[in-house]
Chain A
Amino acid sequence: MALLEVRDLTVEFHRKGEEPFTAVDRVSFDVEPGQTVGLVGESGCGKSVTSLAIMGLLPKRGAKVSGTVNFEGTDLLTLSDKQLRDKRGRDLGMVFQDPLSSLNPVIPIGLQVTEVLERHQGLSRKKAMVEAADLLDKVGIPDPTRRLSEYPHQLSGGMRQRALIAIALACKPRLLIADEPTTALDVTIQAQILALLKGLVQDLGTALVMITHDLGVVAGLCDEVNVLYGGRVVEKAQRHELFAEPRHPYTHGLLASIPRLDAPRGERLNPIRGSVADNIPWDHACAFAPRCPNALDLCREQTPVQEDLGGGRLLRCHNPVQPEVPQEVSA
Chain B
Amino acid sequence: MINLSLKLPGLSLKNPIMPASGCFGFGHEYSDFYNLSKLGAIILKAATSRERFGNPTPRVAETASGMLNAIGLQNPGVMNIINHEVPFLSQFDTNIIANIAGSTLEEYVEVAKSFNETDQVHALELNISCPNVKEGGIQFGTDPNMAAHVTEAVKKVSQLPVYVKLSPNVTDIISIAKAVEAAGADGLSMINTITGMQIHLPSRKPLIANKTGGLSGPAIKPIAIRMVYEVSQNVNIPIIGMGGIQNAEDVLEFLLAGASAVAVGTANFQNPFVCSEIIDELPKVLEKYGFSSVQEAIGKGIMA
Does A pair with B? no
